[in-house]
Amino acid sequence: MKYIFMLLLSISVLFSKALVYEISDEKGKFYIGGTIHVLRATDYPLPLEYNKVFNKSNIIVFETDIEKLDSFSSQREFLKSMSYKDSKNLENYLSQGSIDQLKLYCKNNNLSYKSMKKFKVSLAVLNIMMNEMQKVGVSGNGIDKHYFVMAKEKNKKISYLESVQKQIKILSSMGEGKEDAYLIESLKEAYSLNEDIVKLIKAFKNADVKVLEEFLLADSIVDDKKMYKDLIIDRNKAWVEKLVIYTTNSDIEFVLVGAMHLIGKDSILLMLKNKGFKVKQVKF
């Protein structure tokens, strides 16, 4: 299970073929692009297709309201939902072996175990993920945030597929009931992160969707069907119901979602195809 990469949905690279698609039917068209929620400074400039489609679109659609997500009130809500109440802490849900491994990780990485154990496993793993990302020069300013800022600057209309509260609820529930397995697997992934990033970079540079599916999806389906359903399938289905109306108006929408939503048998692209839409990769 690539838990860390399910959270990231993808990894930051320069694509030789951009994950940007034109969706059309007899009534009209819109565009959809795969994003990654973290980037390195060296990953810019982005592929030409992203900017070309962004410039020709008058409505930019994001997963959620990024500005609101970054607000103090949302961050407070986020922390509250991912922290234990009363006297409970993460140790109540972990085996002694897992507790020892988390203590060791915190010690080796200059992190406070006392603070970490107050968090639910979902936030503990997020902290581990961000700590490892920083080591390889990755920041939280991904493609979605990049275009959110640009959309604001250019006074483009902005829309969202789900509420901030929905995203917080999904994130806070990750690993629930499987705290031990979720933490241990995430720690294993953290230790091999550099190697995994190289594999993902190669797959993205080659636009090798098959490798991406094998790397990001195969274990997800086998190991944690509930998490995969909550994070990918259910959200894809809900989003598609909103996307299908985009060809019926005179606007041109550019929808930006995590790249993991665009690969595999449960992808948004396949769902749209099954509804009769034409899906064509954009190339300039």
Spell out the domain ranges in the chain. 3-281
- How far apart CA 146 and CA 254 sit, in angstroms, is 14
Total-model pTM? 0.87
- Work out the angle at residue 51's Cα, subtended by the Cα atoms of residues 50 and 54, and round it to the nearest 5 degrees: 85
53 versus 132: which is more confidently predicted? 53
120 vs 140, residue with greater confidence: 120
9 pLDDT above the threshold of 50: no
DSSP per-residue codes, 112-123:
-HHHHTTB-HHH
Averaged pLDDT for residues 48-72: 91
More confident residue, 8 or 235: 235
- Backbone phi, then psi, for 44, in 5-degree steps? -95, 150
d(CA 148, CA 150): 5
**Alpha-helical runs (H) found in the chain:** 3-8, 48-56, 66-69, 72-81, 96-108, 113-116, 121-135, 143-153, 164-173, 179-191, 193-205, 209-216, 218-223, 225-228, 234-243, 268-274
- For residue 230, the one-letter residue type is D
**Can you name the residues that pair with 34 across neighbouring β-strands?**
257
Helix (H, G, I), strand (E, B) or coil at 160: strand
The larger pLDDT score, comparing residue 71 to residue 30, is at 30
Helix (H, G, I), strand (E, B) or coil at 138: strand
**pLDDT tens across 75-119, in order?**
888 888 889 888 899 999 999 999 999 999 999 999 999 999 999
Give Cβ neighbours of residue 17 (< 8 Å, ≥ 6 apart).
47, 207, 281, 283
Percent of the chain with pLDDT over 70: 83
The pLDDT of residue 15 is above 80: no
pLDDT computed for residue 34 by the predictor: 85
Greater confidence (17 vs 60) lies with 60
